Amino acid sequence: MMGIANASSPEVFVLLGFSARPSLEPILFIIALGFYVVSILDNGIIILVSCIDVHLHTPMYFFLANLSFLDISFTTSIVPQFLVNLWGPQKTISSVGCMVQFYISHWLGATECVLLAVMSYDRYVAICRPLHYTVIMHPQLCLSLAFASWLGGLTTSIVGSTLTMLLPLCGNNRIDHFFCEMPLIMQLACVDTSLNEVEMYVASFIFVVLPLGLILVSYGHIAWAVMKIRSAEGRRKAFNTCSSHVAVVILFYGSIIFMYLQPAKSNSHEQGKFIALFYTVVTPMLNPLIYTLRNKDVKKALRHIASENCCGFAGSLGHIRDVSNL
C-alpha cells in the first residue's frame, strides 16, 4: 500500500488559496503578516509572564501558557507558507511540507479542543468547589491533564493523517485552499475513502463533540452556582473568572461550527476559506488579548515585570555614571 501511495502521489501540491482574487492577495499578505507578528509577541508574553511571576504559578495560568504555546505552534505551521504563496507567483508546497502541515495542524487542533475542556473543568472546580480547589487541582493532576491533551491530539493526528497519507492520489495535486487540510487531501484520492471518513467522524466525535459537551456541562454547573450567589459583587467576580475562557471557546467552536455546517456550494467554499483564515490567523492573536484585557492578575504581572526592568535599567545607568565619575 505504501509503495502504491508513494508511486502515485505528486512531489508538490498546488495551494490555490485566494489565487482567483489576485488583487486581494497583497492586502491579505499585509493583514496576515501583521496578525502573525502580533500573535507571536502576545502569546510569547503570556508564556513569559506565566513562568516569571510567582503569583501566576497556578493551574489557570499553567493551562493558559499551554494554550499560548499551542497557538504559536498552530499559526506557525500554516501562516509562513501562506505568506510565501501570497507574495510570489508560485502557489506550491512540497509533498513533505504538506504532510508536515496537516500532521501538525490536525494534532494541535485536536489538542486545543481537549485543552479548552480541561480549562473549563479548572473553572468549574474554582467556582463550584473553591474550598477544595488546591487539593483537587494539584500540580500532578494539572501536568497529567495537559499531557493527556497533547498526547490525545498527537494520537488522533498520527492515526488519521497516516491513513490519509497512504491514499493514492493518482497525480492529483491541486488543493483549493491555502493550507493542506486532511479532508481536502482525501478529496484528491482516486480510491474509496470510506475507512478514512469513518475514522474522521469517530475522531471528530471524540475530540470535538465530547470536549464541547464537557464544556457545556461544566458551565451549566457554574451558571447554577453563580445563580446561588446572593451578592452582586460575588456574581461579578465569578463572571470575570470565566468570561475570558468563555470568549475563547466561542471564538474557537463558533468558527468550527460555522465552517462545517455550511451548504456544499462553491460560494460557501470560498466563505470557508475566509473562516479558516480567521481561526488560523486572527483567533491565535485574539486569545492572549482576551485574557490580558480582562485579567487584572496578568496586567499586574506585566506592570511588575516592566517596573523591575525599568528600575534595573536605571540602576545600571546610575552605576555606569558613578564609575565614570571615579
Angle in degrees, CA 143, 243, 209, rounded to 5 = 60
State the pTM of this model: 0.86
pLDDT band of residue 269 (cuts 50, 70, 90) is low
- Higher pLDDT, residue 81 or 307: 81
Confidence of residue 230 (pLDDT cuts 50, 70, 90): confident
Measured distance CA(29)–CA(19) in Å, rounded: 12
- pLDDT at position 287: 87
pLDDT of 72-97, one tens digit each?
A: 999 999 999 999 999 878 888 998 89
Q: Are 178 and 85 in contact (CB under 8 A)?
A: yes
Whether residue 6 has pLDDT greater than 60: no
Residue-wise burial string across 80-98, b where 16 or more C-beta atoms lie within 10 A, e elsewhere: ebbeebbeeeebbbebeeb
Is residue 174 classed as helix, strand or coil in its secondary structure?
Answer: strand
Residue pair 285/35 in contact by the 8 Å Cβ criterion = yes
pLDDT, one tens digit per residue, over 182-203 is: 888 888 888 888 898 898 889 9
DSSP states of 2-33 as a string? HHHHHHHS-SEEEE-TTTT-GGGHHHHHHHHH
- Per residue in 131-171, pLDDT (tens digit) is 999 999 999 999 999 999 999 999 999 999 999 888 888 77
Take residue 199 and report the three cell numbers written for it.
475514522
pLDDT score at 1: 40
User: In which residue are the cell numbers 499531557 written?
Assistant: 147
